[in-house]
Structure 1
Amino acid sequence: MGRGVNLLLFTDSDRPEVGHIRVTDRRLKHLNEVLKSKPGDRVAVGEIGGQTGSGEILQINSEAALLATQLDTSPPPKLPLSLVLAMPRPKMLRRILRTIAESGVGRLHLINSYRVEKSYWQTPLLKESMLRDYLCQGLEQARDTVLPPVTIHRQFKPFVEDLLPAMTRERLSLLAHPGNHLPCPRGVTDETLLVIGPEGGFIPYEVDKLQQAGCQAVSLGPRILRVENAVSNLLGRLF
């Protein structure tokens, strides 16, 4: 937990017995240093993959906090969106992971592209534990508990030829790409797949393959946006 934390997330491993949780790590640090919590205080809590509610602090010190929990509220619904994103720079990916979890994106696919540097794929950020940590930071902000699945595709051609055609079937499938294309739609309610390219955009071959797989190219206008800004702008415009 850190700045902007609105929910203390926990898992079954934090539960010593039914109705109670014991927290340590950065969550305890937040309770002690930011909230300056004491016994009797209540905080918003949520079980990852489950409900949200409130937790009353029973005991707290420098080593752990024990809370009595009452979970009674479903997490907010996800957007009907699968985001396909060319692998960005790791520093940018951290921010994007928080953004998509906070915004309620349903699923994330990270794909390769000609303009994706090979070194990006070596980042430890792609380890499941690190992906989970940055996604949880977004969930904490939004008071959500459901982690969006992240799938990694290290080769472009197998993804676009073998997987993407089935993914675009019976859903609105959009390729955000600079150029003279139809404007990106607004106020979408249908199941949607959105593809966003790397810094510098997809090369023409990749654009052709994505369109052949069922994606329609759309534009946000004449401005060329950084990838993280394109993600935020497109999510805000579509939904």
Structure 2
Amino acid sequence: MNLALLFDEDFVAPNRVVLRGRRLEHIKSVLGTSVGDQLPVGRVNGLMGLGNVVELTDSEVELVVVLDQQPPAPLPLTLILAMPRPKMFRRILQTSATMGVKDIWLINSYKVEKSFWQTPLLSDENLRENLTLGLEQAKDTGMPRVHIRKLFKPFVEDELPALLKNKQALVAHPGTSTVCPTHLNRAAALCIGPEGGFTPYEVGKLKDAGCQSVHLGPRILRVETAVPVLVSRLFDACL
């Protein structure tokens, strides 16, 4: 936790917060914080700054906070992702938030197992928890938005064309002839399929909506690897 992310419910006064649970344990056990110490903090969808520890007990820590710094700029990227396997989903969410992705769409695909949609990781509470962990890692405050669409064809036909408007729209698809671009200086939308990739029919529908098929070379990557590789290639996200 490189930054303690603060939610509205943490504030007991305009400049004072009380933290409990996971954040308290990290502050005590990992950071070894004492009364009088300072640590980086940031308010969700707001400014960052420093929190001064004024009280620390076994059950809570109270901070006086000064929020006067802007968070990192968000990536101008819409990430459209076939619902991953639950064991990968947590890491993908955290990685996407860490890299600055703010708009995530989870969609269905022929190769997405129906059971994937039953994972408790899709609950609002679990989505917030994993996105928070990604933001804390990156020292960012902008909470990503996650949209869930369980029907492929209605989404691609009815919503995707408008979503792609004024964006460079790409679908990662091994075997195509076009190499994934680099150093983009405009907004983009990136579609990434499930393990095994989108079907030819699905790729065709994505192309009809305005996407261009691109590849990363002959190697086939897992989704949890493809996401950071593609994002950093498109936007130099690690620079």
Category of TM-score, reference length = shorter chain: over 0.9
What's the CA shift for 1:180? 3.0
Equivalent position of 1:43 in the other structure: 39
Q: Residue 54 of structure 1 is aligned with which of 50, 54, 60?
A: 50
Give the Cα separation in 2 of the matches to 1:180 and 1:63. 56
Give the Cα separation in 1 of the matches to 2:112 and 2:224. 15
Q: Residue 183 of structure 1 is aligned with which of 179, 182, 202?
A: 179
Equivalent position of 2:97 in the other structure: 101
TM-score by structure 1 length? 0.97
Give the Cα separation in 2 of the matches to 1:215 and 1:18. 46
Secondary structure of 1:182's match? coil
What's the CA shift for 1:49? 1.1
Secondary structure of 2:175's match? coil
Equivalent position of 2:216 in the other structure: 220
Give the Cα separation in 1 of the matches to 2:121 and 2:75. 24
Aligned pair 1:146/2:142, yes or no? yes
Give the Cα separation in 2 of the matches to 1:170 and 1:37. 47
Deviations 1:141-166 (A, max 9, x none): 11101111000000001100000111
Within 5 A, what are the aligned runs for 1:105-124?
A: 105-124=101-120
Q: Runs of at least 4 residues of structure 1 off by over 6 A? A: none
Q: Report the residue type matching 1:57 in the other structure.
A: V
What's the CA shift for 1:64? 0.5
Aligned pair 1:168/2:164, yes or no? yes
TM-score by structure 2 length? 0.97
Question: Alignment RMSD, CA only?
Answer: 0.7
Give the Cα separation in 2 of the matches to 1:46 and 1:224. 38
Deviations 1:196-239 (A, max 9, x none): 00000011110110000000000101111101111111011101
Q: Residue 195 of structure 1 is aligned with which of 191, 194, 197?
A: 191
Give the Cα separation in 2 of the matches to 1:15 and 1:106. 24
Quick one: percent identity of the two aligned structures? 52
Stretches of structure 1 that go unaligned for 5 or more consecutive residues are none
What's the CA shift for 1:181? 2.1
Equivalent position of 1:7 in the other structure: 3
- The alignment of Structure 1 onto Structure 2 pairs a total of residues equal to 235
